[in-house]
Structure formats: C-alpha cells, structure tokens
A and B are shown apart, each in its own frame.
Chain A
Amino acid sequence: MADDVKALSAQLAQDPNSLVFLRLGEMLRLKGLLDAAHRVALNGLERHPHSADAHDLYARILADKGDFERAFDEWDMALRIAPTHLGALKGLAFLYFKVGDVAQAAAHLDLAQRAAPGDPSVEQALAMVRGGEAADAARGVGVASAPASPTAGAPPAAAAPMEDARVFAGLEGAEEGLLLLDSSGRVLGGTLRDPAGQDVSDAVAAYLAGVSQEAGRTAKLLGLGSWTGLAAEAGAGHVHLAQPTGDALLLVVRDRAVPMGRLAILAERAAQAARRWLEQQA
C-alpha cells in the first residue's frame, strides 16, 4: 500500500488538478494517516469545491478525527451538490445514529438503499442500525469508530445522551449552544452553558419568555411584516433567535469568532431540525 501511496502522490504532483487526490486521500485515511489525508483532501477541495466526492472524502476524514460537527457540514454540502450521494447519505446516517436518532439514521440509509439497491454496506448498516449495534453500523457506512469521541464504541443508549440533544442531532453545537423553548419560557430541547460550564438553560429561557410576541408586535407597529430573526452581539458572544413554529423559539449562541451571518445560517438549519422534531412530537 505504501507503493500505492507513492504512486498516487507522484500522479498528483504531476497533475495537481486531477481527481487522483480522492484515491490518495482515502488510502491515507484507511492507513490512519489522518493529518496527511486531511491535507490532501483540503487541497483537493480547493481545486474542486463543487465535487461531492471531495466533500465526502473530507467528511470521512473529519469523522475519523472525531470532528463530527464539521463532518456533518461536509456531508450536508455533498448532498446539496449530489442529492443521492451514497457516501454522504451513509455518513449522515452514521452521525444521526451516533446521537441516538435511529429514525433519521434509518431514513438516510433507506435513501441510500434506493440510490444503490443491493449495496451490501448499506444493507449491513441498516440491519445494524435497526439492531442497535453502533460499531457495526459505523463499519457498515465505512467510517472509523472515532476514538476521539467520548461516545465512540458505546452502545446506542449511551451514544444518545438525552432526548434534548436529539432535537439538533448532527448539527454544529448540538449538545450546547442551542436551546429550544416554548412561548412561556420552558425549555423544550437543547442545552446552554455559560463559559464556566454551568447549565444556564432554564434561566436564559425564562428571560426569553414573551420575546417572540414583543418582536412580532414591534415589527407590526413599524409596518415591517413578520419577524424572521433577532440577532445580538454581546461582549463575549453572538446570539441569534429564530421562530421555528408560532409558539416555539430557538436560541443559538456562539462566541464572537462566529460571524453573525454564519450564525444566521446555523440558526436556520437548527430551526429546520427543531420544526421536524416538534412535528414528530405533535
């Protein structure tokens, strides 16, 4: 395999625009040379930003490194480019499974099965997801069991730490920094921690009770139509409030390094997830 790596590296050096980086990156990933694979994938992505395969490769490497948030983004991007991309569907299924959202995992694997009928890896992953074998499901979708993750190798019950986290399964900051509440300030899902790590979800939710109505009345009085988002900057972070449904409010909190525009995109994704989750609960 070392010779193959050398040969592929030489090919890539000869023609940096070729797609050989996909094979080289995957080979390095399988050998566990994740930093080298990461570099190859990133360089490839710079030259081929619209290649779903490149995003899929990068996502696999990120997942192997335990960076599931960014892996989710990359597989999500791959699916936007190629909606039936097998690797992306399997990868997202894996991430959903990791946080205990078996329904979403199975739904993505069903789509993968339709995209590639008879693919043994999909069938194996589906069987394992339905049977609840986390490590086997990960093998089925071709992703390492991510030793960096605290939930790696754990049974499904432990991989799904709590119902709250499932609301935002697979999203960036799914387990902190996202809070879903009802109009009376009760927490419906998600968790918010202050910089010291203390859970402040209930306190923050209580202060936000009634914000949705006030935002709506303000917009109406000013003839601005319906409100779509409320963003704010503070000394140590940025927040964005969205309204996934008429009587729910979603808060996304990030540090100041995350630009407000990026935060709005994150909030929109989280609002979609919250909307789906609320519909399932109804």
Chain B
Amino acid sequence: MTAVAFQRALDLVTRVRGVRGAMLVELGDGVVVAEHLMEGIKGPAVAALAASLANRLGRAMEAAGLGAGVYWHLQASEGALLAVPAASGILVVAVTEPEVNVGLVRLELLRAAQAVT
C-alpha cells in the first residue's frame, strides 16, 4: 500500500468529531506505519504500548476460548484509545476526547481496517 492510501485510512478516523489523532501500527512489533497525531505525542512509544496491550489482551482472550480480538477500548479519565486490528496485521488506533461518539469511531476504525487490509 502507498503512503497516500494509509493517510486516507487515517482520515476516515480523524474526521470524526472528538478524535484527537489516529495511527497505524504494526501489531507484531509495535512500529508506527503511519500517524496523524497531536503535537507533542510520542508516536513510537504510544504505538509500542498500544500493540503490546492489544497483544496481551489478545492472548488472554485466546486463552479464555473467546477467539481473536476484534476491537479494543482503553477508557481514561480524559479520553480514550480505541483500536481495531486489520487482517494485514496492522492495528488502526484512534485517540479521542472523553465525550466522543464511540460507536461512530468504532465504525470508522472498522472501515479503516478494511481499507488497509
């Protein structure tokens, strides 16, 4: 895929009101593939942690017999991090404000995940 295609996928997510930024992360090694984040955010560090979290939780869900993870939502007091894995092994991540429409962001994350597959 081209950088433009990745950027288009990110745009699907960042155009939702309340989304502060988005990134594409290689799920296996936590490396940033593309990003559209706010100023001052350490993309590589966040990517590594997000991938690690998704992997840990994914392994726990597999061990529980629930199958592969299809959506993650880390809720915090001042916002949230939402993520959806693509079949290509890329994790599509959104960083949001507290009052965002989570359902809408989830839908756009799923669309973006399809776009980067």
User: What is the interface of chain A, defined by CB distance below 8 A to chain B?
Assistant: 192, 194-196, 200, 203-204, 207-208, 210-211, 214-215, 217-219, 221-237, 239, 241, 251, 253, 260
Give every chain A residue within 8 A of B42 (Cβ-Cβ). 221
A-B contact count (CB 8 A): 124
Across the interface, do A224 and B80 meet the contact criterion of CB distance under 8 Å? yes
A196, A232, A251, most chain B CB atoms within 10 A: A232
Give every chain B residue within 8 A of A210 (Cβ-Cβ). 56
B117 within 8 A of A: no
Across the interface, do B57 and A239 meet the contact criterion of CB distance under 8 Å? yes
Contact of B73 among A194, A196, A211, A232 (CB under 8 A): A232
Contact of B64 among A204, A219, A226 (CB under 8 A): A204
CB distance from B38 to the nearest CB of A (A): 8
CA distance in complex: A215, B80 (Å): 11
B88 within 8 A of A: no
CB distance from B86 to the nearest CB of A (A): 15
CB distance from A24 to the nearest CB of B (A): 42
Give every chain B residue within 8 A of A231 (Cβ-Cβ). 72-73, 75
Across the interface, do B76 and A236 meet the contact criterion of CB distance under 8 Å? no
CA distance in complex: A230, B81 (Å): 9
CA distance in complex: A222, B65 (Å): 32
Across the interface, do B76 and A211 meet the contact criterion of CB distance under 8 Å? no
B95 within 8 A of A: yes
Across the interface, do A253 and B64 meet the contact criterion of CB distance under 8 Å? yes
Q: Can you list 17 A-B contacts with CB-CB less than 8 angstroms, sorted by A residue number?
A: A204-B63, A208-B60, A218-B49, A218-B53, A221-B46, A222-B41, A224-B76, A224-B81, A225-B76, A225-B78, A227-B77, A230-B53, A230-B72, A230-B73, A234-B66, A239-B57, A239-B61
CA distance in complex: A222, B50 (Å): 11
Residue of A with least CB distance to B45: A221
Give every chain B residue within 8 A of A211 (Cβ-Cβ). 53, 56-57, 60
Per-position binary interface string of chain B over residues 83-108, scored 1 when its CB falls under 8 Å from any chain A CB and 0 otherwise: 00000000000010000000000000
Residue of A with least CB distance to B61: A234
Contact of B69 among A203, A208, A224, A234 (CB under 8 A): A234
Across the interface, do B64 and A228 meet the contact criterion of CB distance under 8 Å? no
Contact of B46 among A200, A218, A225, A251 (CB under 8 A): A218
Contact of A207 among B45, B50, B60, B76 (CB under 8 A): B60
Given A208-B56, A223-B78, A225-B79, A236 and B65 contact (CB-CB distance below 8 Å): yes
